[in-house]
Structure 1
Amino acid sequence: MRVMVLVKATEDSEKGFFRDPATIEMMEAMGRFNDELRDAGILLTGDGLKPSSEGKRIAFDGAGRTVIDGPFAATRELVAGFWLWDVKDVDEAVAWVKRCPNPMPGPSEIEIRPLYEAGDLQ
């Protein structure tokens, strides 16, 4: 089963990446965790995202399209990074997330969402 693991944004992540000792230590810990995921054959892909201030949204209304420039409100609803994992079930994904280093300074949140598979659509 494939799952998308979403690292939710925080006010700090929306400020962008800063090279300070705490951030570098956090990134190194996350790199080691990614190595564990890769070694276990779980990690399909993953990456961090730049702040929403560098993003765009396209709103659809019938045939109309409207481009909305970031930054976007509701920081806790934004995504700061993601992984795509191949696990046997959601419980395995939960177990891996519990081993994950805290991806942000201070409180943070990770969301796990199963992907639709071809058999789900029939």
Structure 2
Amino acid sequence: MKYMLIMRSTDEGAAAFENVSFDEMLDAMGRFNDELIRAGVLLAAEGLDDASKGVVVDFSTETPVVTDGPYGETKELFGGYYVLDVASQEEAVEWAKRLPMAGPGTKVEVRRVPTIDEFPQDNEWIRKERAWRESTGQL
């Protein structure tokens, strides 16, 4: 089963790591990534750029409004993710508990990623997606 580990932090959580050097962060995350690779569970992993360099597309009004970051009144920011292929939610949680660069003000949300086989196979769009996945070697 695939599970996504979604890394989130508050301002407090981000501030706790402001004085950690980039090399130290790369070393800690690299060691963890290597463990995931050696265990054969890592499918994907990405970190995100600073929120101040992003934008938000807000659909609260009839015409979507685009706002530059940083975002006001944000309680938690999505900072990156892992996608793991593990046997159970419990195994995904055990990996999440081992994430480096975490502490007060950080959270990891663990969510299952459904497979295409769980959707109605007679649906035209599911058939098209399956064909695309097969043509790109994803199935």
Report the TM-score, using the length of structure 2 for normalisation: 0.69
**1:63–1:106 CA distance, 2 compared to 1 (3 A):** closer
**1:10–1:27 CA distance, 2 compared to 1 (3 A):** farther
1:46 shift after superposition: 0.8
Aligned partner (choices 103, 117, 126) of residue 119 of structure 1: 117
State the match for 1:4 in structure 2. Answer: 4
1:14 shift after superposition: 5.7
Could you tell me which runs of 5 or more consecutive residues in structure 2 were left unpaired when the two chains were aligned: 121-139
Could you tell me which runs of 5 or more consecutive residues in structure 1 were left unpaired when the two chains were aligned: none
**1:31–1:40 CA distance, 2 compared to 1 (3 A):** same
1:44 shift after superposition: 0.9
Q: How many residues align?
A: 119
Alignment of 1:99-114 (within 5 A): 99-101=98-100, 103-104=101-102, 106-114=104-112
- Counterpart-to-counterpart distance in 2, 1:69 and 1:11: 18
1:60 shift after superposition: 3.0
State the match for 2:131 in structure 1. Answer: none
Larger Rg over CA atoms? 2
State the match for 1:82 in structure 2. Answer: 81
RMSD over aligned CA atoms reads 2.8
1:98 shift after superposition: 2.0
Q: Contact 1:42/1:85 (CA < 8 Å) preserved in 2?
A: yes
User: Which 4+ stretches in 1 moved above 6 angstroms?
Assistant: none
Q: What amino acid maps onto 2:6 in structure 1?
A: L
State the match for 2:132 in structure 1. Answer: none
1:100 shift after superposition: 2.4
- Counterpart-to-counterpart distance in 1, 2:60 and 2:20: 43
**Does residue 1:43 correspond to 2:42, yes or no?**
yes
**1:88–1:105 CA distance, 2 compared to 1 (3 A):** closer
Q: Contact 2:14/2:105 (CA < 8 Å) preserved in 1?
A: no
